[in-house]
Amino acid sequence: MASGYKWKVVMVGDFAVGKTSLVRRFVYDEFSDSYLTTIGVKVTKKEVAVSDAISADLLLWDIAGSDKFTKILPEYIRGASAGIIVADLTRRNTIENIPEHAELLRSENPYMDIYVALNKSDLVENAEEYVELAEDGTKGKNIKLTITTSAKDGSNIDDLFTRLFNSLLEGIQNE
Amino acid sequence: MPDGAIKIISSKFGIYYAALSSSLTLSFTDRNIQDYLGLKELNDEYLTDIFPELFGLENEIYDVLNKKKEKFSLNTINRTVKSEIFFNLHAFSDPEKENSAFIIIEDITEGSLSLRMVQQKRNEMILRNNELIRREEFITTLLNTIPDPVFYKDSSGRYIGCNREFENFTGFSRDDIAGKVSGILFPESHDNYDRFDRELINHGGSVNYEAGIIKGNGEKFYVIINKSFFTDAEYGGTVIVGVMTDITSRKQMEEQLQILGTAVEHSPVGIIITDQKGNIEYSNPRFSEISGYSSAEVIGQNPRFLKSGFHDNEFYLNLWNAVSNAGIWSGEILNKRKNGDLAWELASISPLKDAEGNITHYVGIEEDITELKETMNMLEANRGELKGRIDTMEKNLMIARIAVDALLQKDFPRIKSLDIECRYLPLEQIGGDFYSVIPDENGVNIFICDISGHGVAAALFLSLLKYFSESIIGEYSGRPGRYLEELNFIYWNKIISSYFFTAVAGNLSFKNGMNFTFANGGHPHPVLLKENGEIFFIGDNDTVVGVFENQKFREFETDIEKGDMLLFYTDGIPETHNSSDNIIGYDAALLEFFLKGKRDTLEETMDAIIKQIIDFRGETNQEDDILLLGFHYV
């Protein structure tokens, strides 16, 4: 299988929302309940099949969680094809901060595909009700997809990434 | 740089380097970097294959290679080799060579792990705080969901917080109460609050009590306060939690029930309340007075023990049918007292129903009418006797009426050139009007009077008056003033003192033409109706006859011409009322009344005047005797 594409995908969001866990679940199909703060950036590569004949390398940038005291370095974002904003369904403020993260991504790349993963869906009931809340906050920010996920039970994670690299592939083919 | 120096820089300071060519390939002179990054033999490797962290940042690197920028850095890259490493990656332009740069790796693992430790603790603390805030919000929401007022206080009795219903109910906000003791918020009841708080802290468990509280707006309410506590080091060891239940409506109802209860207890009628089977649950003191049974003796009993045996089964069947169908029975019933006496009672029985309409109780109310019944029986016995007496009186009255009628003069003396007519309309009762026309040698003596009162006594008085007035007329003929003075003396001195009369006594003399000499004892003035249509009252009147000792009566004289009519009347004519409450009166209206009735003959004139009176009265009942006596000089 030919490895024709390489895409940089950045994961951003407040601290402890599960960015590292999402990467671990997607790349290694693993999950750990213990929390270890990410410092700086950790890049993980995963080769994915985007069609029967073509594979692509996804470079997943797991970026340390940010808040009003800790800002993300712009060079971490630069050159990214897509961004995933991760929020914690059990912490409403992390959902309310999604628009701020979207602004940061857009400031570095106005055409970047942006996805929203509302994580920890295994911990709340009626997780889908939060999708509307998140979408209300990101109206006009051209979010590709807002989806609930669970790094713990794997819900929707493959779906999220499949939608992501299919969209990237489609973008390339359209060029 | 000598290899030794490079080795020291790498091993002691964790700094590694590689050279970058214009094709973005790396050439390594420092072999230590291979160990650091866990890589195998390195030579002419493509930059982003070794450092995928620089993927997408190739333009930045070209800028450095082309000397557009001196430097580009990507900080805090995390990798796991044998263990976790953190490094900063710097690209520097080679100052001595075109299209060449250096890649410097600066190990910051130790500092980053320390930083992570700090970040980790900070983040965990924030998460814990968030969790606390979330729990606080949850508890606040939970408390606000409770529909009763809830508050909590520390061990010194100071309020810590409350729910929204507490704010709504008391009118004090959470901020108002925070840190305050109940003595400030609810001064009327704080002694109780403090006492129960101490009891709760000393003995544990829970307490509940009723209290009255004055709200923020001054309204007084009643509540049940349930208090419990738990230990909490932060709030002085103990937190007291209280829940209020508003019982104001219940208290008001209790007060009303207490008023009703007092009314029932002191009611002047006997009251019993039974359950739906008829067993007595309550009896008031008056019932005990009537029946002789104490409350303790009748509770649980069926009221049938009061039966006297006087009423048959059908009576009781009808009674309960009325209660069932009409919702009430009331009537008289003969019961038996504890001492065996029989007692008549005016009683009523009605059911009490619950909200669903089911009968829960019966209420019996009874009033002792034994004495009333005895009195009524006695009256009934006396009624026959009374009726006999009344019959006798009516018979006597009828005889008296016949007698009075016989006393009144029907035939008048026939005198040439003088017509005499009389119209008399008596009441049903025996009236007190009297008149007489008695001739003497010169003319006629005229006497008309009105006695106070009616009935048999008036009839007797009238018969005496007839007797005396006629027996002395011969002595006082032609001296009407003296005549009235003599009658006054007789009646003041000898006759019943409460009776008196008004009268005109006069002498109509034909000696020189015709003239009329008369005296008036408080009687309506005689009227002279002249042939030419003139009309006027004649004379003046003095006081009534039979009241004052030595009463004097003046005499008046007037000439009567041919065609004149002389009219006498009693007060029944001027005091005639109609339905509009108008009265004929004693003044000019009366004269006009008489004048309207004037005809050619006396007979016609008298009838016309009487008809006018009857027409004026209309549907109104006659209130007094009507007497009209007329003389016409023809």
Percent of chain A with pLDDT over 70: 97
Q: Quick one: three-class SS letters along chain A?
A: CEEEEEEEEEEEECCCCCHHHHHHHHHHCCCCCCCCCCCCEEEEEEEEECCCCEEEEEEEEEECCCCCCCCCCHHHHCCCCEEEEEEECCCHHHHHCHHHHHHHHHHHCCCCEEEEEEECHHHCCCCHHHHHHHHHHCCCCCEEEEEECCCCCCCCHHHHHHHHHHHHHHHHHHC
* Residue A90 CA: distances (Å) to CA of A16, B39, B47, B438, B552: 11, 41, 41, 134, 126
Give per-residue pLDDT as tens, B361-378. 999 999 999 889 889 888
Q: Give dist(CA B347, CA B357) in Å, integer.
A: 24
Higher-confidence position of B406 and B455? B406
Give per-residue pLDDT as tens, B282-297. 999 999 999 999 999 9
Helices within B292-335 (DSSP H only): 295-298, 313-326
Q: In whole numbers, what is the pLDDT of chain A averaged over residues?
A: 91
**pLDDT at B588 > cutoff 70:** yes
Q: Which residues contact B381 (CB under 8 A, 6 or more apart)?
A: none
Which residues from B are below 8 Å from A6, CB to CB?
55
Q: Give dist(CA B32, CA B85) in Å, integer.
A: 14
B365, containing H or E segment: strand B359-368
Residue-level pLDDT at A175: 67
CB contact under 8 A, A37 and B57: no
Which residues from A are below 8 Å from B79, CB to CB?
42
pLDDT band at B29 (very low <50, low <70, confident <90, very high): low
Q: Give dist(CA B161, CA B104) in Å, integer.
A: 60
Q: Give dist(CA A30, CA B390) in Å, integer.
A: 125
| Of B159, B200, B161, B166, residue with least CA distance to B181 | B159
Give per-residue pLDDT as tens, B336-354. 999 999 999 999 999 999 8
A35 in reach of chain B (CB within 8 A) = yes
Which residues from A are below 8 Å from B130, CB to CB?
91, 93
Residue-level pLDDT at A103: 93
The arithmetic mean of pLDDT across residues B110-129, rounded, is: 92
Contact B98, B68 (CB under 8 A): no
B124 in reach of chain A (CB within 8 A) = yes
The pair of structure tokens assigned to B252 is 């008001």
Q: Which residues contact B625 (CB under 8 A, 6 or more apart)?
A: B424, B425, B426, B427, B431, B432, B433, B450, B570, B572
**pLDDT at B188 > cutoff 70:** no
Contact B506, B437 (CB under 8 A): no
Q: What is the DSSP string of B518-574?
A: EEEESPPPPEEE-TTS-EEE-S--BPPBTSSTT-----EEEEE-TT-EEEEE-TTTT
Q: What is the distance, to the nearest Å, from the Cα of residue B313 to the centroid of all Cα atoms in its chain?
A: 44
Q: Give dist(CA B423, CA B433) in Å, integer.
A: 12
Residue-level pLDDT at B404: 80
The arithmetic mean of pLDDT across residues B396-410, rounded, is: 83
| Of B423, B429, B456, B448, residue with least CA distance to B570 | B448
CB contact under 8 A, B74 and A91: no
Residue-level pLDDT at B384: 82
Give per-residue pLDDT as tens, B98-116. 889 999 999 999 999 999 9
Residue-level pLDDT at B495: 66
Residue-level pLDDT at B494: 67
pLDDT band at A11 (very low <50, low <70, confident <90, very high): very high
**pLDDT at B203 > cutoff 80:** yes
* Nearest residue of B to residue A93, measured between CA atoms: B130
pLDDT-wise least confident of B85-94, B195-204, B252-261: B195-204
Q: Give dist(CA A105, CA A114) in Å, integer.
A: 8
Residue-level pLDDT at A32: 92
Which residues from B are below 8 Å from A108, CB to CB?
none
**pLDDT at B22 > cutoff 70:** yes
| Of A128, A114, A116, A155, residue with least CA distance to A25 | A155
Give per-residue pLDDT as tens, A107-158. 989 989 999 999 999 999 988 889 999 999 999 889 999 999 999 999 999 9
Residue-level pLDDT at B42: 72
The pair of structure tokens assigned to B487 is 């009658």
Give per-residue pLDDT as tens, B241-272. 999 998 988 888 988 989 988 998 999 999 99
* Residue B196 CA: distances (Å) to CA of A29, B115, B206, B225, B237: 61, 54, 9, 10, 17
Give per-residue pLDDT as tens, B206-225. 888 888 887 777 788 888 99
Residue-level pLDDT at B190: 57
Q: Which residues contact B19 (CB under 8 A, 6 or more apart)?
A: B26, B27, B28, B29, B94, B100, B101, B102, B103
pLDDT-wise least confident of A85-94, B69-78, B177-186, B469-478: B177-186
Name which of B78, B115, B120 is nearest A41 (Cβ-Cβ).
Answer: B78
The arithmetic mean of pLDDT across residues B418-426, rounded, is: 91
Q: Which residues contact B523 (CB under 8 A, 6 or more apart)?
A: B448, B449, B450, B502, B503, B504, B541, B570
B141 in reach of chain A (CB within 8 A) = no
Residue-level pLDDT at B192: 64
**pLDDT at B31 > cutoff 80:** no
Q: Give dist(CA B171, CA B448) in Å, integer.
A: 92
| Of B463, B312, B487, residue with least CA distance to B399 | B463
**pLDDT at B14 > cutoff 70:** yes
Predicted TM-score of the model (pTM): 0.51
Residue-level pLDDT at A3: 59
CB contact under 8 A, B77 and A78: no
Q: In whole numbers, what is the pLDDT of chain B averaged over residues?
A: 88
Name which of B52, B124, B126 is nearest A43 (Cβ-Cβ).
Answer: B52
Name which of B55, B76, B86 is nearest A8 (Cβ-Cβ).
Answer: B55
pLDDT-wise least confident of A54-58, B3-7, B362-366: B3-7
Q: Give dist(CA B523, CA B535) in Å, integer.
A: 18
**pLDDT at B298 > cutoff 90:** yes
Q: Give dist(CA B222, CA B210) in Å, integer.
A: 7
pLDDT band at A95 (very low <50, low <70, confident <90, very high): very high
Percent of chain B with pLDDT over 90: 48
Residue-level pLDDT at B552: 94
Which residues from A are below 8 Å from B115, CB to CB?
39
